[in-house]
Amino acid sequence: MTTLFIADLHLSEQRPEITELFIEFLKTKARHARALYILGDLFEAWLGDDCILPAYNEIITQLKNLTDSNIPVYLVHGNRDFLIGNHFCELTGCQLLDESTTITIDNNDYIIMHGDTLCTDDVKYQQFRTMVRNPEWQQQMLSKTPAERIALAKQYREISKSETSTKAEDIMDVNQGEVEKVMRTTNIFTLIHGHTHRPNIHNFDIDGKPARRIVLGDWYEQGSVLKLDKDLFELETL
């Protein structure tokens, strides 16, 4: 059976057509999968499990329908939805994984992650990431009212858009040295990630060994899915 990987859907009430596309995907293609892996940024913003926006209710329902059908769904935090917690998993049946996880499928090992930790040349972003992943910062954020969280999320998005517009493209991409470091540390030479919105399959060598870095596409203009069947990968648009 085929295993599916997706990332960077950035679902929001501002893009209902993409939400509809995702729900259709959950009702059709995902139903025939061995498992579904969501590698971060399922939502444009997740403000805490106690602050679920109405636009997300149907998404939660359809994820639960899928997991109730014995299709496991695994979730990795992204840089937009890192406040997803246990209650969301209870509502959907999704299983939350560590930000960098090793999985084994058909006796082959793979590293999966969102991918933002690989972008080490973007120093400002890494500093911001360190701040928002701090448990004390998250506790302070979750202690605010929903209205305050929404306002802060909008503020951070505007700052991000402004800074992104002035950064060189290569700075926002992964650092190859960091990719190789991860592979050498784990002794696993296939890495699957999202975040950069640059879908591709990169083949290269590390110390004489073949290696692959597979980048998932985003869901801004269309859907993007990575299909894995017996160690054969295919990137598909919806």
User: For residue 221, how many other CB atoms are within 10 A of its CB?
Assistant: 9
Q: b/e for 199-220, b at 16 or more Cβ within 10 A? A: beeeeeeeeeeebbbbbbbbbe
**Every domain of the chain and the residues it spans:** 2-237
Q: Which of 114, 16, 26, 108 is nearest to 71 (CA)?
A: 26
2-237, which class in CATH?
alpha beta
Residue holding tokens 């991860």?
A: 182
Beta-carbon count within 10 A of 90 CB: 11
Residue 223 in this model has a pLDDT that exceeds 90: yes
pLDDT band at 77 (very low <50, low <70, confident <90, very high): very high
DSSP 181-209: HHHHHHT--EEEE-SS---EEEEEEETTE
Give 167's pLDDT tier (boundaries 50, 70, 90): low
The residue type of 208 is G
User: What is the DSSP annotation of 95-113?
Assistant: EE--SEEEEEETTEEEEEE
165 pLDDT band, cuts 50/70/90, is low
Global pTM value: 0.94
